Structure 1
């Protein structure tokens, strides 16, 4: 019998470049949480196809407005995870979430012209630790946008444990992640560890 979710705090879902539209696990997650009576929020980016760091930071801050310290979670994917690192570098996590899941952040050495302003992201250990009660890093073992691997790119610089999903690719629709029960389970538990 599946475990019933025990957490009831809001979840802020931060999509990446091109958004997380129909069929993406973030959209599926929002639908599942809504059915369970959970509040979800998503930053209202003006243009998900043409990311602008300052505009995205403003939209993220607006989506966090009014949330209580330690009373919400953040689930960020891809460029959204990199955005979160910029956010805590500027605001020091105000308001401060209880937990943050940074999923499949692209390599800090990413050089796509459309998102060059986002890279390299700030990787200050103390800032990221102050930005939430706890943060987890999750990535596929074969993510084409993270060729050096999550441990090398983010885990070691941030002195943070990582969760590697074998064969998970970029953990997006193209990798088969339309529904992701493990993430829904994480949202329903109080502990930080992903698996």
Structure 2
């Protein structure tokens, strides 16, 4: 699959992704990419965030590829229970946040902080760093396994965001292109 053949849904985590974040850059660069907006980026609500993803998936006109970061990965996992098989072509899930990290955020809904650990109804890749302050690589690997996803070790890369020096994240774009090719 080529990026031009998919509706690429960008799903940021807590506080959204600022202008220097790789998700914002990809959204600007990839013509079929668009952000799934949330009503409140600072107060994630499980059903609201998941519902927005499901709405965006159902409004798509091409095969859907989800590109999530941090707490956005949790939103994707929560949305998965409402998605029918075949509605999403794949999920590119980067730097999931641990339950403890999410609980430490102000105004975090307990139901959102919990990880859903059922197999996702679409192929997925989880990319995580060995030095992510918001999730150990062991926990990220366990999530990938629970979700039936491929795990990719990002090495010593922090939280894979602009604060860790991954504004443009060209290596991630190459991995994303490879992920799309595997989807067909």
TM-score normalised over the length of structure 2: 0.84
Q: Report the CA distance shift for 1:53/1:152 in structure 2 as closer, same or farther (over 3 A).
A: same
Distance 1:178 1:166 in 2: 17
For structure 2, the 5+ residue unaligned runs are: none
Q: Report the CA distance shift for 1:102/1:84 in structure 2 as closer, same or farther (over 3 A).
A: same
Aligned to 1:20: 17
Please tell me whether residue 82 in structure 1 is matched to residue 74 in structure 2: yes
Please tell me whether residue 143 in structure 1 is matched to residue 135 in structure 2: no
42-51 or 76-85: which moved more?
A: 42-51
Distance 1:43 1:160 in 2: 22
Aligned to 1:106: 97
Q: CA deviation at 1:78?
A: 0.4
Q: Report the CA distance shift for 1:99/1:123 in structure 2 as closer, same or farther (over 3 A).
A: same
- Greater percentage in helix: 2
Higher radius of gyration, 1 or 2: 1
Per-residue CA distance 1:36-80 (angstroms, 9 max, x = gap) = xx21221221111222222212222222232257x1211000000
Distance 1:150 1:192 in 2: 25
Q: Report the CA distance shift for 1:6/1:53 in structure 2 as closer, same or farther (over 3 A).
A: closer
Distance 1:30 1:152 in 2: 27
Aligned to 1:122: 116
Aligned to 1:7: 3
Per-residue CA distance 1:78-122 (angstroms, 9 max, x = gap) = 000000000012x13466221211111112444225323312211
Q: Report the CA distance shift for 1:124/1:10 in structure 2 as closer, same or farther (over 3 A).
A: same
TM-score normalised over the length of structure 1: 0.80
Per-residue CA distance 1:100-156 (angstroms, 9 max, x = gap) = 11111112444225323312211112xx1xx22x10010111111112535543133
Aligned to 2:161: 172
Q: CA deviation at 1:188?
A: 3.7
User: How much is the aligned-residue C-alpha RMSD, in angstroms?
Assistant: 2.4
